[in-house]
Structure formats: structure tokens, C-alpha cells
Structure 1
Amino acid sequence: MRTLDVNALIDGARFNSFHGRLLFWCALIIVFDGYDLVIYGVVLPALMQDWGLSAVEAGFLGSCALFGMMLGALFFGPLSDRIGRRKTIMACVVLFSGFTVINAFARTPVEFALCRFVAGLGIGGVMPNVVALMNEYAPKKMRSTLVAVMFSGYSLGGMLSAGLGMLLMPRWGWQAVFLVAVIPLLILPLLVRQLPESLNFLVRKGQLDRARGLLQKVAPDYRPQAEEQLYLGQGPARKVSVLQVLQEGRSLKTLMLWLAFFCCLLMVYALSSWLPKLMHSAGYGLNSSLAFLLVLNVGAIFGAIGGGWLGDRIGLERVLLGFFALGALSLSLLALKSPLWVLYLLIAIAGASTIGTQILANACAVQFYPPHIRSTGLGWAMGVGRTGAIIGPLLGGALHGAQLPLQVSFLAFAVPGVIGVLAMLVFSGRPPARQPSPVPAAKHPQVEQR
């Protein structure tokens, strides 16, 4: 009987059509996930005008989806470690797409807030699961890059929101932008067929034939043998608890990761929610204000892909440290009066180093935690970080409501970047304690013969 080291087989695999299809479908989910989230910043000026909302009320309305995202990440992350990532992802897609469409028919701020909250549950729940799924199947040498490319779909979704807002809102009002969210529901049958299940989950449930079939797609040269055992590196626990992410020397690093997520998400959602409104108040027209949001997300794509490429070469921890510093610097410089082209450049850099940083932080988290608690670890990091996402729109609303200069808002948004630098310094300072492997080291990088 032989034991196959599944992780070694996946790590050494070459990128093929299976990885390409997985990347496409996971990225497509993230595109609409980002669309459904960024859409609030696009419609915010119109909502404030139609419903006569104050800045504080608008900030609270923006935080409803983010509060739902926090609960969704905390609930659906651990749930997927129990019932599988595939079922969890499908349920989340139905939630965030369905209730975003229903948002178009909201007649009052209360109805709008309720729909945003439920949609937020799905948005927050799907993110850690698609990231963990992509990370699980990606070859080691390009893992950070593939996760970053996949998650740049979030920025594409943000660009789609801004672009369609500029096109649809002048003709059909803010409601039309929400109706576009029906597309993921229409392609749901394709998602059900195309997305694979987590290998870790299949092995835990004893579905070894399905697991071997997926391994043949990951590595076409692999040939299963009779009575072959699949080894995943650790004996996965039947019940997954948040306490497990704090064990085996991970407590300090986990806390610093949570703090980094908090700071990054505060910057991301303060900017995404209030950038168009801040620029509109500064004298720019609605389409010009939405163009700033477009530039923010274009910068995020370059930041995520470039940062992922660097992460595969010098380590994600170093890249995140530099990106937090760059984010704090670019937001501070936005507080200065600058020519329009400089303003666009700084906003692009801010997008690269805030939204891009969050994308890379997701990749860092899934690589930090072992497979059997990966969704739980990322789910809790994103869930705790969502408190920053909730505070971000509220902070922007409070600053705008106080009628403070535009520069004060950008300086306030830069402070979390400095704290993020300190958190990543501590995170990268000490490796977690290594536990002895339950299986002797194999002579072959993939297989141990018994």
C-alpha cells in the first residue's frame, strides 16, 4: 500500500485547463461579489438626493451590508469546513445576487438597509470560500499570483459598477444598477457543474474516488492505485473551532492578522463608499466623481496582480508591509491640493495599496493556516476585519457631516495604514511553532511507499 502526499502533488503540478476553469469561475463570482458591494458608493449621491438622507444616515446605510458581511464571514467560513465549500458558495451566490436585485424595489431606507444586510451575508460568506478553494488547487510556485488574479475580479466588479452607473443612472435611475445583479442567478446551473469540491472535505468524508478524480485533473500524469491512501499533511479535526486558529503558536500572528484586516478594510470601504460623494462635494460632476471610483479600482487590479507576482518571489508578508506604507503615504498626499492628473495618479496608487492590499491579505491568510481550518481562519480574519469595514462608511459620514475640509477625511483614512504597517511588522517577526508531522518524510516528493 502506498500513501500519496496530496499537497506535494498539487504543489508540483503545472498550470492546466483545470486550473484555468477554476480561476475563471471563481473570478467571475468575485466580479459580481465586488459589483454588489461597490454599487452602494455608486448610487450614494442619488440616494441622498432622492430620500433626503443626511451624511450620518447615509454612512449607517452603507454599513448595513458590511455588518452582514462580518456575520456572513464568521458563519459561512466555518460552515464550509463542515458541509463543503461548493454548497456554501452556491448558497452565498443566491443570497447576495437575489437580495441585490430586490434592492432595486426598495421604497424606504429601512427596506433598502434590510436588503443590503442580507446581501452582505452572502458577500461576506463567499469571499473566504472561493479564496480558499483557489488556494487549495493552485500550484505552489504561482499560488499567490493566481489568488491575486482571481480576487482582482473584485476590482473589475467595482469598475463595472462605476461604468454602468455612469451609463444607466442618468436614464433609468439608481434602481437600474441593482437589476444587473440578476446575472449570477442565471448562470448558477453552470457554477454548480463547474466548481469542484474541496479535496480536504472529500477526503474527510471518505469520498476518495471523487478526490482521486479531481487529482487526475490537477495533475494529468497522476495514476491512482488500488488501496491508495491520501495524505493531506495533518489529521483534520471533525469539528472545527475558532480556537484552532489560535493554537500551535499561531495566537500572536492571528491577532496581528486580524488587526491588519481591520485597518485595511476600514480604508477600503471608507474610500469605496465616500470617494464619489467627497469629490462631488469638492465641485466635480457626478460622472467625474464616479470616474475617480473607476480609477481607484483600476489601480487595485495592478496592485493585486503585481503584489501577487512579488509575493511569489519575496514573500507576501514583505509585500503587505510595503503596501500598507504606500497606502498611508498616498492617502496623506491626497490631502494636498494637486493638479487633476496627480489626483488621478494618487487615487490609482491608493487603490493599488488598499484594495490590492486586502486581496493580498486574503492570500496571506489562506497560506498561513493549514487546510482543515483554512476557511475558518480566513473567515474569522475577514469577519473581525469587517468591524473596520463597518466603521469606514460611518467615519466618512461623520467627517462629511461635520463639514470638515476634504483634506481631513483623507488624513483620517491614512491613519489605519500606519497601524497596518506595525501589525505586519509583528506578524512577520516570528514563525509559528512547528508541530511534528504524523507521517514520516517521504523519499519521493509526492509518494511514500509502505
Structure 2
Amino acid sequence: MSPIAARLERLPFSRFHFKLLLMGGLGFMFEAIDAAIIAFILPVVRTKWHLTSFETGLLGSSTYVGFLVGALFAGLLGDRFGRRVVMMWALTFFCVLTFANAFVNDWHTFALLRAIAGIGMGAEGAIIAPFLVEFVSNRYRGAFTGALAGFFSFGFVAAALIGYFVIPLNPEGWRIALVIVSLPVVVLLWWRRSLHESPRWLEIRGRHAEAEAVVSDIERQVERTGVTLSPVVPLAGTTVSYEHSGSFFGNLKLLWKPPLAKTTLMTWCLWLSVTFCSYAFFVWIPGLLVQHGMTITKSFSVSIFIYLAQIPGYYSSAYFCEKLGRKTTIVTYMGLACLAGIWLANAGSDTTIVLASIFMSFAMNGVNAGEYAYTPEVFPTHLRATGMGTASAFGRIGAICSPMLVGYIYPLWGFAGVFGMTTGILLIGALAVIFLGVSTTGKTLEEISEAEYGSLRPDAQSAELRTAK
């Protein structure tokens, strides 16, 4: 392992890491608010614009078309040009477009702007985890990334509160909600100016002096808190320096070459199943409760409790990611989500639906925390953002399809059809992790790459990258 990686691995969790957690976590939170607020806007604009069930589902899916594009190109751009610049521009993009969306007057324009804003949201969500995980020691990497993803839950709860207290105030409350969602992002954007580029990425690009300067500054920040750093201990694992990176399609090609192909297939299946089921549930549940007979106000108030269940789901999963391992945690929570889906499929009364929904919310977000902790670890550094971005992008196909499918299936088969479908898809994702997933617990990022992809020797990789340009 290079001295840069060894120096990062010896760092204790410090104020520097907590600051990273807040910067990245707040990005996830604002993304979640923006993604979730549509669930509370849909019942209002459906009536306002006289939308059919399918058109409502199409409107719910529009954001995730942009998510797909943003997630894909964030990963590819992040490996080529750096993680930090992508994260800054993604946040700016989605902030501006969300603000503009508050002033439209027809559902077609609304859907178009949601799709364009989704490019920024998708890029933000795909780049945060592979960027920040490269600063963190393997001793707490799983818990850190799980806790980072846990900020999604605060975003969903905030969206539910805005939906309950703001949207029903007047017929234009949904516009006020979108303005509220977009403005705080500006503060986060200003705060992120102090972020360093990933020293691991700088090193594999051959920018050793910059990587050294970043790590030295981090060490000074840690030492200023009174911590005495231990001597650097050489660790196992290979670090390869690349003066140039492959082309976009060249990096995609590398993901599908053995032995990475198995890992790529596993992450794509995992993200597709989880994202499909998450958005089928969270985008539609307030509207489904209304269609089941609740008033809009009551469904929004109940949704607050459903979304609150995300918080223990995320943070219990972050804990178990370190104690049980990423694979075990992901599969366990997917099993719990399947049980919740079966419960919802057979639910009859309002009380049963709400209790089953709370259980589903807890379980699904336990899976989300696990996948965010796991996915960046299973790819080597020079392909980490591409691997994470393409998995996230492929998963967005599920986010695009699921709201429309729910809008089509619910009138025909009700809760049984919707949640029977989600249960089956979750089982496919769980099987992919069980049979194709690799072990990452207790290993540094370099050790994982060496153990799983040791056959990708430096000279062979360099040749691949040269021919892929």
C-alpha cells in the first residue's frame, strides 16, 4: 500500500471526518427532500391539472430520468476529472432547477424541469459516497458510509413535515414547498468550498505532490484537536499510479471485463431492485393512502410517522454493517422488507396498512444504508466513481418504471398487486448479493482490490486504458 493510503488508514475518527459526514450527509438530505416532496405534491397537482393515474405516475417518474443521466455521468466524470468538482456543480444544478420548477403552470413543463433537475440530484447522490469513503479508515468505513446515507432519512422526514405544514395552507402551497427545498442548498454549496480533492484519486492520477499536501493538511487538522498520530505502518495492498485515465466508454468496458464483471452485475442487480422498490413505495404511499380513503391531511400526517421509521432503519444498519458485515446486513434487511411487502399485500384496514408501511420504511432504508456502504468498496480506486455511478444509474431505471407501474397496477390489483411485485423484485436483489457479492469487512480499500482483482496487474490495466481511449 502507498504511504498516502497508509497515512489515511491510521487516522482516528476526528472533527475533520465529522465535517465530511455533515457536508456529504446534508447533500443527501437535500436530495432526499427534493425527491420525496413530489410524493406530497402529486395528490395536489393531480387534482389541479386533472391528471390520470398513469399521468400522475409519469410525473412521479420524471425526476428519475434525470437521475439516471446524472448518476451515470457523475461517475464517469468523477473518475476522469475528480470527485470534488462534480459534486459542486451537481449541487448547483439541482438547486437552480428546483427553484425554477416552483413557477410552472402545466404538468408537461413541470415534468421536464423535474427531469432536468434530476440530473443534478442523480450526480450528487452518485458521487458523494465514492468521494468521501476514500478519506476514511477501514476501521469505521462501513459505519461512516451507513451514517452518511442515513441523512436521506432526515430528508424524507423534512419533506413529510413540509408536506403536512406547508402544502395544505393554500392552493399554491406546493410552490412554496419547492422554494423552501431549493434555498438552503446554497448555504451547503458555500460551505463545501473548503473540501479537498480525494488524495487517493490524486495519487492514481500521478499527482503525488497534491495528494501529499492534502494528507498533510488533514493530519494537521487532526493533530490540532490534541490527537497524537501513531507512526505510519505499511499495509498490504497494491496502489497503481495512472498518469491518464480511460475514456468514458473505456471505463465502462473495464467494468464488464473479468473479474470485475461479476461485481458489476451484482451491484446493478442490487441497485435496480432496491431503487425500484424504494420509489414504488415512498413516491406513492401518501397518494395510495388517499386513494384508500384517507383525507390528504391525514395521509400526510401518517406519512410523517412512516418516514420517521427510516431513521432507525438507516442507523441500525450502519451499526450492523460493522458488526455483521455488509453482505449479511443487506440480505437481512432485504428479507425484512420482503416480509413487510407480504404484510402490505394482505393488509385491509388503515391501521394495518400504516403499521406495515412503518415496518417497510424501516427495512427498506436499512437496505439503502447497506448498499451505500458496500458499493464504493467493491470497485478499485480508478473505477470507484464509475462503478458507483453506473450502478446508481442502472438503479434509476427502477425509479423511472416503478411509479408508472404502480399507477397502472394499483387500480387493477390494489395493494396485493403493488407489494407482491416489490417483494419478488427484492428477492432477486438479495440472491444477487448472496451469490455474487464479495467480502469487504475489515479490509482497506486497497486490500479489497488486491484480494478480489489481483489479476488486474498494473501493466495489464495500463494497456487496457491506453487501448480504451
Q: Shared fold (TM-score greater than 0.5)? A: yes
Deviation string 1:323-375 (CA, Å, 9 cap, x unpaired) is: 11111111110123366555444222211222331232122110101111111
Q: Structure 2: how far apart are the matches of 1:45 and 1:296?
A: 17
* 1:305 maps onto 2:312 in alignment: no
Q: TM-score, normalised by structure 2?
A: 0.85
1:229-248 maps to which residues of 2 (within 5 A)? 233-236=239-242, 238-239=245-246, 241-248=251-258
Q: Structure 2: how far apart are the matches of 1:247 and 1:9?
A: 31
More off after superposition, 426-435 vs 344-353 = 426-435
Equivalent residue letter for 1:121:
I
1:40-439 maps to which residues of 2 (within 5 A)? 40-172=38-170, 173-188=173-188, 190-204=190-204, 207-216=207-216, 217-218=218-219, 220=223, 233-236=239-242, 238-239=245-246, 241-337=251-347, 342-400=352-410, 402-428=411-437, 432-435=452-455
- Of 3, 6, 9, which residue of structure 2 is paired with 1:8? 6
More off after superposition, 293-302 vs 18-27 = 293-302
Q: Structure 2: how far apart are the matches of 1:304 and 1:270?
A: 19
Residue 233 of structure 1: how far off its partner (Å)? 1.7
SS of residue paired to 2:145? helix
SS of residue paired to 2:166? helix
Contact 2:168/2:297, CA 8 A, preserved across alignment: no
Q: Structure 2: how far apart are the matches of 1:13 and 1:429?
A: 26
Equivalent residue letter for 1:235:
S
Q: Structure 2: how far apart are the matches of 1:279 and 1:358?
A: 24
Q: 1:341 to 1:434 in 2, by over 3 A?
A: farther
SS of residue paired to 1:367? helix
Contact 2:83/2:198, CA 8 A, preserved across alignment: yes
Q: Structure 2: how far apart are the matches of 1:239 and 1:437?
A: 16
Q: Structure 2: how far apart are the matches of 1:281 and 1:340?
A: 12
Contact 1:93/1:122, CA 8 A, preserved across alignment: yes
Contact 1:308/1:316, CA 8 A, preserved across alignment: no
Look up the match of 1:444: none
Q: 1:43 to 1:295 in 2, by over 3 A?
A: same
RMSD: 2.5
Structure 2: which 5+ residue stretches go unaligned? Answer: 440-450, 460-469
Residue 73 of structure 1: how far off its partner (Å)? 0.7
SS of residue paired to 1:426? helix
Equivalent residue letter for 1:421:
A
Residue 188 of structure 1: how far off its partner (Å)? 4.9
Q: Structure 1: how far apart are the matches of 2:279 and 2:317?
A: 20
Contact 1:10/1:140, CA 8 A, preserved across alignment: no
SS of residue paired to 2:239? coil
Contact 1:67/1:120, CA 8 A, preserved across alignment: yes
Contact 1:25/1:194, CA 8 A, preserved across alignment: no
Q: 1:142 to 1:344 in 2, by over 3 A?
A: farther
Contact 1:212/1:224, CA 8 A, preserved across alignment: no
Look up the match of 1:228: none
Equivalent residue letter for 1:44:
L
Equivalent residue letter for 1:165:
G
Residue 204 of structure 1: how far off its partner (Å)? 4.5
Contact 1:93/1:184, CA 8 A, preserved across alignment: no
Q: Give the length in aligned residue pairs.
A: 431
Q: Structure 1: how far apart are the matches of 2:82 and 2:230?
A: 25
Residue 390 of structure 1: how far off its partner (Å)? 0.8
Q: Structure 1: how far apart are the matches of 2:455 and 2:309?
A: 40
Residue 38 of structure 1: how far off its partner (Å)? 0.9
Residue 274 of structure 1: how far off its partner (Å)? 0.8
Structure 1: which 5+ residue stretches go unaligned? Answer: 226-230, 440-450
Q: 1:234 to 1:207 in 2, by over 3 A?
A: closer
Give every structure 1 segment of 4 or more consecutive aligned residues whose post-TM-superposition deviation is greater than 6 Å: 222-225, 436-439
More off after superposition, 264-273 vs 132-141 = 132-141
Q: Structure 2: how far apart are the matches of 1:352 and 1:382?
A: 21
Equivalent residue letter for 2:378:
F
More off after superposition, 207-216 vs 121-130 = 207-216
Residue 163 of structure 1: how far off its partner (Å)? 0.4
Q: Structure 2: how far apart are the matches of 1:29 and 1:168?
A: 22
Equivalent residue letter for 1:54:
T
Deviation string 1:98-143 (CA, Å, 9 cap, x unpaired) is: 1111111111111101110111101111112111122111221111
Residue 209 of structure 1: how far off its partner (Å)? 4.2
SS of residue paired to 1:334? helix
Contact 1:5/1:233, CA 8 A, preserved across alignment: no
- Of 9, 13, 17, which residue of structure 2 is paired with 1:19? 17
Contact 2:97/2:117, CA 8 A, preserved across alignment: yes
SS of residue paired to 1:52? coil
Look up the match of 1:443: none
Look up the match of 2:447: none
Q: Structure 2: how far apart are the matches of 1:55 and 1:405?
A: 13
Contact 1:248/1:435, CA 8 A, preserved across alignment: no
Q: 1:257 to 1:436 in 2, by over 3 A?
A: closer
Residue 43 of structure 1: how far off its partner (Å)? 0.8
Residue 429 of structure 1: how far off its partner (Å)? 7.2
Q: Structure 2: how far apart are the matches of 1:359 and 1:287?
A: 30
Q: TM-score, normalised by structure 1?
A: 0.89
Q: Structure 1: how far apart are the matches of 2:306 and 2:387?
A: 28
Contact 2:202/2:211, CA 8 A, preserved across alignment: yes
Contact 1:11/1:140, CA 8 A, preserved across alignment: yes
Equivalent residue letter for 1:419:
I
